Structures are given as structure tokens and as C-alpha cells.
Amino acid sequence: MPTATMATSPAVPSPAVPSPAVPSPAVPSPAVLSPAVLSPAEGPPGPSAGPARASAAHPARQELAVRTSPLPADTLLGLSRRGLLEAASAPHPVDRYAAAHLAALRAAAAVLACRARPAPAGGRRARPTSAWVLLSAVAPELREWAEFFAAGARKRAAAEAGMPGAASVREADDLLRDVQAFLAVVETALGRAHQPLLGPS
């Protein structure tokens, strides 16, 4: 008997499954850098009793028109150094605190004299603004110092008014050291040589 042959149906090709597309790595667009203002010294030390220094980059310096002191910066720095010595020799902590804080204020005025744009003469008188607020604007790298001394402004006013117990011995001595450190930072930032006035305590 003849052998029966089975007809085989032609093979149907399976539909091609497209392989998933592999995304090509995205090429980041070049960053647009805003103009930066470099501080004279990277990361100046902050006050001993102030908050911890932030690790974020300092914001850009603002251009302000303010009524600055008529005295030049070098004169203000000299007054600051003299005030620091007077504070160190004051016998009472209240007087020592007030004189030291005033020395810090004169150092801040020296920064404003160098970096702030003087307001035009005869212009509209602006609302009085704290020197510490202005210092934060024109010298962002000194913002921590500005906040620290601004917090002590009320205590200095009480000390200048002769209120007993306005400042303790420790507060006055700590402020002396902080003001000397602040003066060193300011003089370095303004390109002046600094010589410590007070010996190590």
C-alpha cells in the first residue's frame, strides 16, 4: 500500500516584536550662570556666639544707595580699633559691652563707606535703616556677623543708658573677643592689614 503523505502547512512567520527603544542619555543643556560676586575671603569665620555658618553659596551683593558716614573707611577703622581698646580698659562690664558694640558698628560703617553707593545730595530722605541690615545687603559674606551684632543692639542701648545688669562680665568679655574677630574680617575684606589689639584671654 502506498504510504500516505501528510500535507504540511507552510510555516507562518511569527510577527516581529520590536525591541524596546533604548533611550539615549539626555545631554543637559549648558547652565546659565548669573553674575556672581566673590567675597574677598572664602567663608569668613562667624561670631563665637552666633548661629552656625550656612554651607550655601552667598547671595549676590546688592547695589544700594544709602547715606553713609562722611568719614572715610580708614578713619572709621581707626575709630573702631580705638573703641576696642577703650572697651578693653573699661572697668565695668556695662561700659565694656557698650564700647565694644560701638566699635563693631564703626567697623560696619567702614564697609558701607567702601561698598555702598552714596545717596545723591538733596534727594528724598529715605526711611532710616539699621546699619546691620545694610551690611547684610552690601556684604552678604558678613551676614552672620550682621545678624549677631543686630541682636545685641538693644542690650547696647540699655548699657549706654546705664541700666544696672544690662551686661554681665562674661557677656562683655565675649563681645570683646567677637568684635576683635569681626574687625579682623572687615580689615581683610577691605584689603587692609590687621594687627590684633588684644592678647589671648
Positions of the chain with pLDDT lower than 50, given as ranges: 1-44, 50-59, 63-66
Kindly calculate the radius of gyration of the chain based on its CA atoms and give it in whole angstroms.
Answer: 33
Task: Tell whether 84 is covered by a domain.
Answer: yes
Q: What is the pTM of this model?
A: 0.65
Task: Tell whether 156 is covered by a domain.
Answer: yes
Task: Tell whether 1 is covered by a domain.
Answer: no
Domain count across the chain: 1
What pLDDT shows up at residue 183? 96
Rounded to whole angstroms, how far apart are CA atoms 195 and 112? 22
Domain carrying residue 109: 67-189
Task: Tell whether 13 is covered by a domain.
Answer: no
What pLDDT shows up at residue 102? 96
Task: Tell whether 174 is covered by a domain.
Answer: yes
Single-letter amino acid, residue 148: F
Tens of pLDDT along 22-76? 444 443 333 322 222 223 333 445 566 543 333 334 445 554 444 555 788 999 9
What pLDDT shows up at residue 5? 43
What pLDDT shows up at residue 116? 78
Task: Tell whether 73 is covered by a domain.
Answer: yes
Task: Tell whether 160 is covered by a domain.
Answer: yes
Task: Tell whether 3 is covered by a domain.
Answer: no
